[in-house]
Amino acid sequence: MQEHIFDDRIYYRTNDFKPERLTLVFAHGLSGSSSAWLPYEKIFENKYNILSYDIRGHGLSKKYPRYEDYEIKNFANDLYDLATYLKIQKFILISNSFAGLVALEYLKLHRDMVVANIFTSPEIYLNEGFLAKITRPILTVITGIVSFLPFNPKPCGHVDYRKHIGSTDWDVKRIFADIKNTGLHAQFYGLRQSFSPEQEYALEKINTPTLVIHGEKDTMVPLKNPTMMSEKIKNSKFVCIPNANHNTVHNHVKEMSEAMENFIEKNKSVLK
């Protein structure tokens, strides 16, 4: 895998692209980085074209100072700019957690480029219900405070998730490592976006093969949320990983990668 920086704003990694292979694009979750996908790159790099990247404000990608900079459409347009620059016309979009919102926005804006979707532990329906009504004003206050704090535009780095295998959803050590490499601005601005009431998922309009993977014991996104998501998407398959929490990508590489490859190979004839 080779490391690159696009337009002085997006860090990404690729293997040597071959025209006969399918292309997988990996997008990580909030406060994480592309290092979450390193084990998957090793598994898949000799079978598929691979693009992993740091979403805005994370890892080695450019950080932005304002809340408006972290609107979901901006994340989606970053990916479009990067894919266009790399001349990737068709790809399978693999998104984790917060990046599930980015993927859904991307499907609304650039649907023709995505031949299949894989959502892992997607943040879905967090903007609905009683908890959202409580959380939104709290996050509004917190982001207001954060906006007055000193902003450091310097990119930070990548977390070594090998040190956090088996971590729980609320593991303080892992959370601190994530925030340290992300910063308070991107962390809380992105979190507030997760609870935004303005989100429109347009699940019924998704017509490409879709896989949704979720942990049985996820305490951040209830299992019923991605289950309902999968039910609303045509041609969708749902996989529940027993005894898994929200950190499926880190803690269950074997189960996750096998589910992904089984899905891709099963649909291969319609993905090219």
Order the strands of the 23-27 sheet from edge to edge: 2-6, 10-14, 49-53, 23-27, 91-96, 114-120, 210-215, 236-241
**pLDDT per position as a tens digit, 31-85:** 899 999 999 999 999 999 999 999 999 999 999 999 999 999 999 999 999 999 9
Which domain range does residue 88 map to?
Answer: 2-271
Tell me the percentage of the chain whose pLDDT exceeds 90. 82
Mean pLDDT of 107-136: 93
Token reading at 160: 């070594």
13, 158, 184, 229 from 55: Cα distances, Å: 12, 12, 15, 23
Q: How far, in Å, CA of 110 to CA of 102, rounded?
A: 12
**pLDDT per position as a tens digit, 198-250:** 888 989 999 999 999 999 999 999 999 999 999 999 989 999 999 999 999 99
- Residue 150 has a pLDDT of 92
- Residue 58 has a pLDDT of 95
Q: How far, in Å, CA of 138 to CA of 136, rounded?
A: 5
Q: Return the half-sphere exposure (C-beta side, CA atoms, 13 A cut-off) of residue 177.
A: 17
Number of folded domains that form the chain = 1
pLDDT band at 6 (very low <50, low <70, confident <90, very high): very high
Q: What is the pTM of this model?
A: 0.96
Query: What b/e string do you get for 253-270 counting C-beta neighbours within 10 Å, with b at 16 or more?
Result: bebbeebbeebbeebeee
CATH of the domain at 245: 3.40.50.1820
- Residue 198 has a pLDDT of 80
The answer to whether residue 130 scores a pLDDT higher than 90 is no
Mean pLDDT of 155-183: 89
